[in-house]
Structure 1
Amino acid sequence: MRQRRLLVQVAVAAVLLGLVALLVNNLAVNLIRTGLGLGFGWLGRPAGFALAETALPYAPSDSYLWALTIGWLNSLKVIAAGLVLATGLGVAAGAARGSNNRLLRSLAGSYVALIRQIPLLLQLLFWYFVAFLGLPSVPIGGLIRLSNQGIQLLGLNLSVEFCAVLVGLTVFTGASIAEIVRGGINAVPRGQWEAFRSLGLGEGLGLRRIVLPQALPAILPALTSQYLNLAKNSTLSIAVGYADLYAVSDTTITQTGRAIEGFLLLLLSFLLLNLLISGGMAAFNRAVLGRLNRSR
């Protein structure tokens, strides 16, 4: 039995090495065909294209490397904001699905059922072309102004493209997070609900103080997957013209013809981002488990 397991492991390792060798061979053949070789010196040349949205100062005379950095920052901006907002929306909708209030329960269920049936790309196009480009110029309370040119919020000018991507990612991911939260809440024994009710705590307070902390170990692993999906789904923002890393990389590859190097940089960038998200959630999960163990 032990020898059989060893042979299986050796066979799997051989297959993986063969696949790696095949990929390296294909890369070498493609480099020979293009006649360009593999190099990154082009990153220092002027990009020559403008970006509609920049987190830091940028001009077309700046290098391709700086243009890609701006795209990376734009991606980080929409992903970070999307993670926060999607989590809040998902937790609220997931809690509402288990509420005693029939109206709240129905609204949350309808939201989840509808959003999960529509592809994200169509939702992004809806938010961009229908919702935000059709906005009239409306001030709200003197601190917020809505218009088809963007949203002014507490001194921040948010472009239409950014708002459409952010809302689309938030609404789409929030629906999946709502189901995760609902499953985690249902995993908590009903005796815990009866316990806080017997103490006179309201539903909302009991949910926040008693139920959700105990549901976190069941919620966090699946929540991590949704966070990674949101980061990867952000590449669809190219459909509405948002200058994220993928959009800037696509323009760079088109102009330079350096498809292999461009895709390598893109893959490494998203790999780093996903590792950061996974590592952060793993640390948070360990902290939650440690706190629960100490409280027992």
Structure 2
Amino acid sequence: MINLDSLLAFVTAADKGSFSAAGRHIGKSQSTVSVSVNNLELDLGVSLFDRSGKYPVLTVEGERLYKQAKVLMRQADRIEHYTAAVRDKVENKIKIGLDPLVPFAVIETALEKMAQKFPFTQIQIIKETREKLFEDLGEDRLDFALHLSAEALPDYFEFASVAQLEWACVCSPDCEMADLDIVPSELMTTERQILCASMHDHPVLGPVSVLSQSIWLAHEQDDMIRMVEQGIGWAFLPKIMLDERVGMGTLVEFTPDYQKVNQMYGVDLLWKTNTQYGPVFKYLRELLFEASKK
């Protein structure tokens, strides 16, 4: 049977170009690396390195084995990390509920870091209405949820504010409002407005964001953006979703005459009280807490 330590010594020596460099990299002496490679050659019955020069050079057989050995070492590393995750009781899956009014950008950096730290945990993102998120969280069908702050929450939920979103009005470059420094409310009421159902029904955002007498409802905010870019109407959306498109010129941000200050709305992270959570949940929660402080 192939010894993994010997295989590691071989792969590292090939990567680093010498037995001494390999030893420094893996914390072994040069002689230990040399002996490990010699033992591997004896076990396999082939010469892996040509040692006639100043530095060892892979033989033809060594080149072929090196590629296979790299794959084997990656698999061994995955097995080691997986068994460590099992010992540490790392969750197999985390289900995150996302309010359609919360842009994915709020959590994407945290998810990227989590994927690196816990590569064997599956993440499932579920977009639902606020009411359905509350129901699923209460029935343990979600681990936690993110929603746009509104009225008081059920007593069995814990919550923390993890983001403040600035919102803005946008239209297409061809829209009449795109050329105005300040857009009068009268014009906004006559031009078609694009909303999504979650925005229309939100107890806080709905009453202040619905202005036009002509409303089209989209499924999600991404759909709203595409409709505005097509010139179908104007919309009120989180700036974090708009900046790139405004920079490219496909959207134009405008200022309504009623808007005196930036309009900010908070994003809350919700989870159930008196519930035992694993390391992935705790890590993600901490990442979101840290992001809110920046």
TM range (shorter): under 0.3
Rg larger in structure = 2
Structure 2 length normalisation: TM-score? 0.27
Structure 1 length normalisation: TM-score? 0.27
* Structure number having the greater helix percentage: 1
